[in-house]
Structure 1
Amino acid sequence: MSTPALPSFVTALEHGLYAIDTGFQRPAFDAAYLVVDAGRCAFIDTGTRLAVPRLLATLQALELAAEQVDWIIPTHVHLDHAGGVGDLLTHLPNAKVLVHPRGARHLQDPTMLWQGALAVYGETEMQQSYGGITPVPADRLMSSHDGLQIPVGARQLSLIDTPGHARHHHCIWCPVSRSWFTGDTFGLSYREFDLNGQAWIIPTTTPVQFEPDALKASITRLLAAQPDHVCLTHYGQLGDVARLGASLLGQIDELVAQAHIVNNTAKEDRHQALRDMLARIWLRRLREHGHTADEATLLHLLAMDIELNAQGLGIWLDRT
């Protein structure tokens, strides 16, 4: 049997896994995943509403019918992960949406999700990058719990509660591929920073629920399974998980320690001081990784994360 030709935005991984570049922001920035087993399917994360045509095109390229999709599983309800859930669901007659219990109400009524993102990004950016959000009917919504197992064909996916980035975050374990689908819990790793076959990774402290101790506990729990791979929304499937996990844990400690020092800065100057701190730490770590590109190029790729992580650290400092 010949292998179907896949669109350029789809990468076939092993064990019936497919990574789909959702097209959000820039190439290789935001991924959704499709799990296929014995003719049954699950989407894990969807990207924004604007990504739905790519998700449906992936099914078509794989010669899979919409009726074969049983699950849509957002890792959490931030719009770059779950903004397309409601629209995608309208095309999949048999699918249920499986969401963390703290996120379920926000998918039923996404008003707060939209307004929260609108306050950060503004109306123009929201329309261009997110395109709106469609509510999920209550009768097609199911809440997860820690340790829940669900079937996808002949395999059982397991879900665990992983707070730290967001309190409405769960991660999904695939025993066949020995992979975690980690959303934002296991940080961000952009392919532009790969060097000599090694990935570079950073934690995300974006608003509004960054909790360093909880995040470290969640990462430690993921590492305890000794996974072969982690599948990040931002971006792609990575090996060498133990090294990356150790880097994340060390960086969280460093960011927390440095943020406490910055907190002594005058309030009107603190946000810029946090931005400068993040830029300084990540540039140093990129140099240690072996990057020799000019600072402007590296900082351009990290600009969004510097801004959002600084906002999240500020909110955390005020809360603590």
Structure 2
Amino acid sequence: METLANLESFVRSAETGSFSSAARRLALTPAAVSRNVAQLERNLGIRLFQRSTRGLTLSEAGERFLQTVQGSLDSIQGAIADITVNAGQPAGVLKLSAAPGFGMDYLLPLMPAFLERYPAVTPDWYFDNRPLDLIAGGFDAAIGGGFDLPPGMVARELGRMHLIAVASPEFMRGKRRPKDPAGLAELAGIVMRSPLSGRVRTYVMRNGAGAEMAVVQKPVMTVSGPDAIFPATLLGLGVGMVAVPHARPHLESGTLERLLPDWYSDIGPISLYFTSQKLLPAKTRAFVDFVTEAFRAQKLAQVLSVHGRR
């Protein structure tokens, strides 16, 4: 009878394509995962993987075996996780990832109440604008946008982030207001370089009638992340495409003004990423439920978009 460890090492290695990635997911060493798979192969009398310097490839027999055992393994682990969740107090280090600006503005303020409810959980935050390999990095959960969704991960949408074109009154003094997004090309702009491709990020704006138009900017400054665009815009250096929640209080105070009031850019969902719900440890399930409820109760999804609070 095969051990659960051998089967789990095989399935996770097949899902991730390497012993090292499976080891990080299972909190084992790559050598231990390799031994478990080798023992499974010896016991079955078949080769499950073709091994090469470029990684692992399932053999034909390995493909058939994976299809047979994968669902059953998830069911067994789900039953174990369910017992643990229901019987155990959430505890341990919770490794989390979020973009710096969003994380500090919206997630850190939730932590006092979260830690008061779950004092045995220790959040370990990684603030980074770059999309990460959540499984390979050993993360329990992440919040942001643009993540690839590998096997075994799910995403729960929290809201959609909208950008608007803003500038300081001092910068706009004596300048002609653009009539559409293409008109932004006549004004100095603060643009962002993609941390992955190195190319300047481009946007498409839409209006209330459903029309869409590409944003054209004349760079006066290029920055490497969105958190620098807002202060540079506030300093009067140029027009910035700024997230609605950052811009809103300054629009109300008059330190910024919105250009193209009927236009905005929807840059996609802000989601909570975590492993398959059946396999969640208690600490991760507690965090997922807490953040989801906080976004609902505080109506944070509305705060992120042009359709929210005015």
What range is the shorter-chain TM-score in? under 0.3
The structure with higher relative contact order (CA 8 Å, sep 6+) is: 2
With structure 1 as the length reference, what TM-score do the two structures score? 0.24
As a proportion of its length, which structure holds more strand? 2
